[in-house]
Amino acid sequence: MIPLSVPHLAGNEWQYVKECLDTGWVSSVGSYVTKFEQMVAEFAGVKYGVACVNGTAALHISLRLCGVGSRDYVILPNITFIASANAVTYTNAEPIFIDVDAATWQMDLDVLEAFLKNDTFLDSNRLYLKANGQAIKAIMPVHVLGNMCDMPRLMQLAEQYHLMVVEDSTEALGSYWKGKHAGSFGKLGNFSFNGNKIISTGGGGVIVTDDEYLAKQAKHLTTQAKVSADEYIHDEIGYNYRLVNVLAAIGVAQMEQLPAFIEKKKYMFDFYATHLQGVGDIRFQK
Ligand SMILES: Cc1ncc(COP(=O)(O)O)c(C=O)c1O
């Protein structure tokens, strides 16, 4: 058994967590939460980050912010982790699965384009499935194992067919398409920090976006949609999805080590590529 990735907690994790415990700032408000959000957003090259309890919650909120709801569809690749599809169903929408390319394991954009052309129709800038007339609201490319499909082409198709793009970039912190970071293409990108990701907070996620309004709404929805800090007034159904300061403290320490982790990943890839070259019928994800 070779794990995808194991947590490597060799930096300032102890020191930062101790600071949270010593000061009593352990819960969902605290300087590490804000710092972690800023560090992830900055690394991904976007303006805003909103920390969540995990990547699945981040995806759920992102879809809600795109107005995905009951009787809508969201397009997904047919290779992903189940959380992407689960997040769609939490909004009472349904996934439509597009086949992946055998070489890259990413959504096959020729198949996507043929589907959009043959099986959907546009009416007043909204996309509908021909088979039943239900709306297709969004598309969620999943950057499986840190790779991406041709994102500029996907973005162009999404624009042409009026689809909101929510990136499942949970596995892609440190991945770039021609210099542009994963999660920075769509309206919203989403990262995960569970135990098998390149950095880990034990559990955690961050939504990233360049849209100030969406960032504010993401924070609002993840904090029970509470309108004011002092009063118990809530203007819609929200969620208790905020990351706590103790875990964000681990996240800050992990972010400090991210460049070194990326270098290590590249070394490991080269190691496997060298030593598995010509062994049996082993082929690499392109
Ligand atoms: C592709 C994909 N989507 C979503 C998730 C969900 O993230 P989390 O486990 O943080 O909820 C993960 C990671 O587990 C993932 O790999």
To the question of domain 13-256 being in CATH 3.40.30.10, the answer is no
At 286 the pLDDT is: 84
Identify the three-state secondary structure at position 111. Answer: helix
At 70 the pLDDT is: 97
- Give bridge partners of residue 181 from the DSSP assignment: 176
Q: For residue 177, what are the CA distances in angstroms to 80, 86, 97, 143, 190?
A: 19, 27, 23, 11, 16
Claim: this prediction has a pTM higher than 0.85: yes
At 63 the pLDDT is: 98
**Residue ranges of the chain whose pLDDT lies below 70:** none
Q: How many CB atoms lie within 10 A of CB 285?
A: 11
Ligand 1 atom at shortest distance from the alpha carbon of 193 = 10
CB 127 within 8 A of CB 136: yes
At 271 the pLDDT is: 96
At 25 the pLDDT is: 92
Distance 192 CA to ligand 1 centre (A): 6
**Which residue's CA lies nearest to atom 10 of ligand 1?**
55
Distance 148 CA to ligand 1 centre (A): 16
Tell me: the pLDDT tens digits for 115-133? 999 999 999 999 999 999 9
Tell me: the pLDDT tens digits for 1-46? 888 888 999 999 999 999 999 999 999 888 999 999 999 999 999 9
Distance 81 CA to ligand 1 centre (A): 6
Residues touching ligand 1 (Cβ under 6 Å) are 54-56, 80-81, 83-84, 142, 168, 170-171, 192, 194, 205
At 29 the pLDDT is: 85
Q: Which run of H or E residues covers position 176?
A: strand 176-177
Q: How many CB atoms lie within 10 A of CB 70?
A: 9
DSSP per residue, 200-259 = --BS-EEEEES-HHHHHHHHHHHBTTBSSSSS--BSS---B-PPPHHHHHHHHHHHHHHH
At 86 the pLDDT is: 98
CB 46 within 8 A of CB 67: no
Domain spans in the chain, listed from the N-terminal domain onward: 13-256
